[in-house]
Amino acid sequence: MSNGSTFPPPRRLRGTTVLVVLAAVLVAAGAGYLVLRWLRGDGGEPPRAAHPAPSGTRHEPDKKDGKGGTGDGSHDSGPGSHKGNPHGSLKGKTVVLDPGHNPRNRDHTREIARLVDIGNERKECDTTGTSTNTGYAEASFTLDVAHRARKLLERQGARVVLTQDGDHPYGPCVDERAATGNKKRADAAVSIHADGSAAGNRGFHVILPARVTAGAADTSAIVAPSRQLGERLAGRFLAVTESAPSNYIGDGTGLDVRSDLGGLNLSTVPKVFIECGNMRDPKDAAHLTDAEWRQKAARGITEGITDFLTS
């Protein structure tokens, strides 16, 4: 070749080569350092974690089972949709669900009229409960919602006990219902009901125990934790079902305090009642008789319990 070649002198070529190689090494080293930091968990951009859903989060509608309902919730995200409560978060916890009344109470009116001691007075063993104007019984509603909530809670790892599962000829009596939660040393107990007020009275409310110290009743130790449970339950029930708090009880808070319920007076574990709606109001009744809405009610109850037990 002639001296007019376009190739640079050898010395310049070697210097450029060294610089290129050095730059490549530095880039590789920098990338390796970032990867190392990510693996060690002290930097970088890790996979985005799920954050707990705020109390006002809207949930996707439940998928139907082809019959207008949601079946057992197998297609529903359940508590898993409340992202702060992963599966297994209730492992080791015991929850007692108390489906109000009994579908067969109406056939045992004499037995359920028997008076039992609730500490500060004596009241009927149980009552028949109410129904919608079309005949859908409160006792059927409460048992259905309890079954749905039980599946969701068990999916979270909880041990769930029902005070009755359609396996009693009547009742059980209100003092026996309280005793179930006490004997099982429940971490939380919820009695599920629907109200029977006048048409136009709408919405849900949660009943909290008053401070009662009389006879066999002493709620001193459970008043505060029961209020916490009730507040969590009301908040999640509102968010999931989008039902409004009662417009006739609780001054818009969705909370009511009572001292005349044996299921609360005789409880030694945190316990509340939830009246999911008014069966005698046509608009509320349309929700209560809808399987998809009942699945949402069960999910709201489940998330409220889960929030209480994991907070």
Choose the weakest-confidence range: 54-58, 96-100, 115-119, 291-295: 54-58
Better-predicted residue by pLDDT, 14 or 159: 159
Residue 59 lies in a domain: no
240-249 pLDDT, tens digit per residue, is 999 999 999 9
Q: Do both 170 and 209 map to the same domain?
A: yes
**96 close to 161: Cβ distance less than 8 angstroms:** yes
Q: Do both 16 and 151 map to the same domain?
A: no
Q: Do both 34 and 168 map to the same domain?
A: no
Closest CA to 141 of 191, 76, 193, 203: 193
**271 close to 206: Cβ distance less than 8 angstroms:** no
Does residue 175 carry a pLDDT above 90? yes
The pLDDT of residue 86 is 63
- Average pLDDT on 179-184 reads 98
Count how many domains the chain has.
2
The pLDDT of residue 201 is 98
Q: Do both 214 and 281 map to the same domain?
A: yes
Angle of helix 223-241 versus helix 291-310 axis, rounded to 10: 140
The pLDDT of residue 182 is 98
Does residue 101 carry a pLDDT above 60? yes
- Grade residue 88 by pLDDT with cuts at 50, 70 and 90: confident
Residue 255 lies in a domain: yes
Q: Do both 42 and 140 map to the same domain?
A: no
Residue 2 lies in a domain: no
**220 close to 257: Cβ distance less than 8 angstroms:** no
Does residue 113 carry a pLDDT above 50? yes
What is the Cα–Cα distance from 60 to 44, expressed in whole angstroms?
33
- Average pLDDT on 170-198 reads 98
- The catalytic position among 138, 176, 231, 275 is 275
Q: Do both 31 and 142 map to the same domain?
A: no
The pLDDT of residue 162 is 98
What is the Cα–Cα distance from 105 to 140, expressed in whole angstroms?
12
Q: Do both 36 and 167 map to the same domain?
A: no
Cis amide leading into 172 (omega within 30): yes
Does residue 221 carry a pLDDT above 80? yes
- Grade residue 87 by pLDDT with cuts at 50, 70 and 90: confident
Structure tokens at 36: 């190392």
Does residue 34 carry a pLDDT above 70? no
- Average pLDDT on 19-32 reads 41
CATH of the domain at 231: 3.40.630.40
Q: Do both 32 and 105 map to the same domain?
A: no
Residue 83 lies in a domain: yes
* 242 among known catalytic residues: no
Using DSSP bridges, classify how beta strands 255-258 and 217-218 pair: parallel, antiparallel or unpaired.
unpaired
Residue 43 lies in a domain: yes
**189 close to 96: Cβ distance less than 8 angstroms:** yes
- Average pLDDT on 43-59 reads 30
- Grade residue 85 by pLDDT with cuts at 50, 70 and 90: low
- The whole-chain average pLDDT of the chain stands at 81
Q: What pTM does this model have?
A: 0.75
Residue 96 lies in a domain: yes
Does residue 155 carry a pLDDT above 90? yes
- Candidate ranges 4-13, 50-59, 165-174; pick with highest mean pLDDT: 165-174
The pLDDT of residue 208 is 98
- Average pLDDT on 21-46 reads 36
Q: Do both 107 and 25 map to the same domain?
A: no
260-280 pLDDT, tens digit per residue, is 999 999 999 999 999 999 999
118-128 pLDDT, tens digit per residue, is 999 999 999 99
Does residue 36 carry a pLDDT above 70? no
Task: State the residue range of the domain holding 200.
Answer: 78-310
Q: Do both 252 and 104 map to the same domain?
A: yes
Residue 1 lies in a domain: no
Residue 71 lies in a domain: no
One-letter amino acid at 22 equals L
Burial zone of 74 (CB within 10 Å; 0-12 exposed, 13-18 middle, 19+ buried): exposed
Q: Do both 30 and 98 map to the same domain?
A: no
Q: Do both 41 and 146 map to the same domain?
A: no
What is the Cα–Cα distance from 161 to 155, expressed in whole angstroms?
14
Does residue 94 carry a pLDDT above 50? yes
Radius of gyration over every alpha carbon of the chain, rounded to an integer in angstroms: 30
